[in-house]
Amino acid sequence: MSTPPARFGDRARGCLLAASAFWVSPLIRANIYIDGLNLYYRALRGTPHRWLDPRRLARLLLPEHRIGRIRYFTALVANRPDDPTQAQRQQAYLRALATVPDLTIHYGHLMAKTKRRPLARLPESGPRTVEILDTEEKGSDVNLASYLLLDGFEDEYELAVVVSNDSDLMLPIRMVKERLGKQVGVFDPSRRRSFELHGAASWYRPLRQGPLSASLFPDTLSDSQGTVSKPASW
């Protein structure tokens, strides 16, 4: 018995099925917003992961996304009597960051004030307070929120990823998600969950040490000034 010839519609459907087997959906466009000092003090300080390459980290955490712009928010630190080289270490790291494609550094500022605080254990006599140097960072949260909204308005991303534990970012995250219809994910560098960010974001995940340890710069990098090396104490 001979096989009847295939109809045109059957052949067309077959071609579509064959083509679909080779179709790769476009990657989701993702921008990364890093609260630098929050990341440092919550997850990096005292670890061997301080020489962190943000783009390598983003690719590791989001392998099925196309990483676009990375915005890194920080403030310049000054040397202190208890840490006389911290400014030099930060400058080395900022030079390393400047070698990362499509990464922009945005600066807030630090305010240092002398304050008097009560002692935890009050003595029977003598002073009951102690003078401390209180350093507070200003501007990074506002800068991050502003660019998160601006980039969303300009349709730079489909997914925004915020690396921070700062609950002040709850409202801008919620606005981007609910008013702009964008996804906003949070990687929390702290061991203590931020319930505000967890409730506002499209998804919320802890930033673990494993991905950080696998996302470091080479010990020495080249830039327009020459070479820059990882600080010896890092």
In tens digits, the chain (234 residues) has pLDDT values of 444 554 545 555 555 444 445 555 579 999 999 999 999 999 999 999 999 999 999 999 999 999 999 999 999 999 988 899 999 999 999 999 999 999 999 999 877 666 677 877 777 777 767 766 656 788 899 999 999 999 999 999 999 999 999 999 999 999 999 999 999 999 999 999 999 999 999 999 999 999 999 999 999 999 999 999 999 999
Strands (E), the chain: 28-35, 65-74, 103-107, 109-118, 129-138, 159-163, 183-188, 203-206, 220-223, 226-229
Q: Give the DSSP letter of residue 183.
A: E
Model pLDDT, residue 132: 63
Half-sphere exposure of 171 (CA within 13 A, CB side): 5
Model pLDDT, residue 2: 47
Amino acid identity of residue 7, one-letter, is R
Residue 16 lies in a domain: no
For residue 32, give the 3-state DSSP assignment: strand
Domain count, the chain: 1
Q: Give the DSSP letter of residue 25.
A: P
Model pLDDT, residue 79: 93
Residue 28 lies in a domain: yes
Please state the pTM of the whole predicted model.
0.83
Residue 12 lies in a domain: no
Structural domain of residue 179, as residue ranges?
Answer: 24-117+139-229
For residue 147, the domain's CATH number is: 3.40.50.1010
Residue 19 lies in a domain: no
Residue 174 lies in a domain: yes
| Residue 106: Cβ within 10 Å count | 18
Model pLDDT, residue 143: 98
Residue 11 lies in a domain: no
Residue 150 lies in a domain: yes
Q: Alpha carbon 98 to chain centroid distance?
A: 15
